[in-house]
Amino acid sequence: MRKVIIIGAGLAGCYLATQLQDTCDVTIVTKKSPKDSNSMLAQGGIAASLDPGDSPAEHAADTLTAGQYHNKPAAVNQLVATGPKLIQQLIKAGMAFDRQADGQLDFGLEGAHSHHRVLHANGDRTGAALTSFVQSQLHRVQWQSNTTALALKVQDDVCVGITVRNERTGQLETLTGDAVVLATGGLGNLFPLTTNNQTITGDGIAIAARAGAAISDMAFVQFHPTLLTLHGQCYGLITEAIRGSGAILVDENNHRIMANVAKRDLAPRDVVARHLKAWQQQGHQLFLDISAIPNFTQRFPGVTENLDNHHVPFRTTNRIPIQPGAHFVMGGITTDLSAQTSIPRLFAIGEVACNGVHGANRLASNSLLDCLVSAEKAAEKIQALQPLTIRPTATTNKPAVKPILPTLTDLQDKAWQYLGVVRTRTGLRTFLDWLAQFNYRQLTPEQLSDNELAIANLCLCANLIANAALAEPKSLGAHYIKEPAAKKQVG
């Protein structure tokens, strides 16, 4: 029986495990608990052309438009064609998506979609509902919780396992298998304001990069326009579905910020985020005006609970204080359409991977769909693999190198300043010069504490983002370069 090691307990990793558990020996390794993932936090929903008036072709067109045609068309076609079938299978298995009074599926609208095609579950708690349902289908897998993935084990240029550390005992262990799958999410905690779970520190990208795997499109980091922000701190996502239901972005004077922009409040996220940042830099405060939404508390119970927990008086003001913040990275570990990376038998699925589906800017609610589709394709490939013969190798203890690392706060502040919503070439070079004083590349993960490892991984990801951004010839999608003003000719 093939052995498969899956790193990550979000929707991608767990859905893959459901597809493999009957034919493979599956172990899921997760940094904290099965409930700690970005998938559990996803509010907006999952996009699919299941409505009779919609079509995969229209979904593909919207995905390509949002991605600025930097997407791989084959990956987009695979997403929109396979996704609806997988969702129908989940519904047949008992997954309960929200429905209208007549029993029909209730499709929502989000930014840059030309059709109502976004399914929700429990209102704005889709990610938690879907991931929990998929986890409930797992009956034949081994779990290793509170376990950190450190480094890949590669023999003859083939991935044969991964070294992990139990964070309660400190014990190191090398798990070997016929396939290793990275499903670790993105790198949101590189930035001070983020929608991401606190465990998301670029681990999978860093692990793959250290092993020499190809990495793509790291310039493209999506900043979500609406994070609940109080006193400069982020307290979670305010789902785009609220704008899809009629909310508008305003300042303290009730001026409509997106009034003169194409598609207004439902423009692509990079456009909205840049407009909000520019407005904020002029000294304005940013709010989401929800006065046009009837039954807000019933329609958005998760957001309501979060607002109440933080004593936001939205019932009287009809306003939610927001700011843009880091949300999703379109780049990551390069994969083919079967989730295979450049290292044989190493797979990557979900946000950690770059299969070309998202292009330069992810279309809203395509990420949960990509988790399902990339996992399904990985399962097909893994089940066709021949079992490996793994040679025993002696462990070599590398001499310890004293870490020279920034504090997480300093790294986040610099990343926000230079790698954020608006970038400059001078700023990117300044950031790389600052990063060069640290030795994150020379450190051995096994010798680092949890905190040191998280910072080292984020430093490596930051380096990849900055260099990729410098290599991009012009602004594209979520990567926006502000070029210096042309000098006036004298004469």
Query: Could you tell me how far CA 372 lies from the centroid of its own chain?
Result: 14
Q: Which amino acid is at 468?
A: A
> SS3 of 179, please?
strand
222 with 330: CB under 8 angstroms?
yes
Nearby residues of 266 by Cβ (< 8 Å), 6 or more positions away: 109, 110, 111, 112, 243, 244
185 with 198: CB under 8 angstroms?
no
The yes-or-no answer on residue 269 being catalytic is yes
211 with 153: CB under 8 angstroms?
no
Considering the candidates 117, 243, 269, 345, report the single residue annotated as catalytic: 269
CA distances from 154 to 166, 211, 391 (A): 21, 8, 11
410 with 435: CB under 8 angstroms?
no
Q: Which amino acid is at 419?
A: L
Q: Which two tokens stand for residue 209?
A: 């990069």
- Which class for 42: exposed (0-12), middle (13-18), buried (19 or more C-beta within 10 A)? buried
239 with 124: CB under 8 angstroms?
yes
228 with 234: CB under 8 angstroms?
yes
In angstroms, rounded to a whole number, what is the distance separating the alpha carbons of residues 117 and 173?
45
**Positions marked catalytic:** 269
